[in-house]
Amino acid sequence: MPALDAIRQQIRANYLPDEDEAVKWLAEATGLSTKERKAISARAADLVRAVRGSSDPRLMEVFLSAYG
């Protein structure tokens, strides 16, 4: 099964990749512009600040368990 061998080879080649390279590739693969990524990052920071500022300490635990 040459196709299966090729798939296995791809999996092995990408197992434990260099983290910086993997993140760069993933960021580029999204197709998002720099402006869009900045907006997403700002929104995420706002959400984290809101959760941290909540009077319910369990909210942060729930947030981290979901998005960790």
Give me the half-sphere count of Cα atoms (radius 13 Å) on the Cβ side of residue 54. Answer: 14
pTM confidence score: 0.55
Report the chain's mean pLDDT, rounded to a whole number. Answer: 89
59 vs 23 pLDDT, higher one: 23
pLDDT number for residue 39: 98
Residue 60 CB burial class (10 angstroms; 0-12, 13-18, ≥19): middle
**Cβ atoms 43, 32 nearer than 8 A:** no
Domain ranges of the chain: 2-67
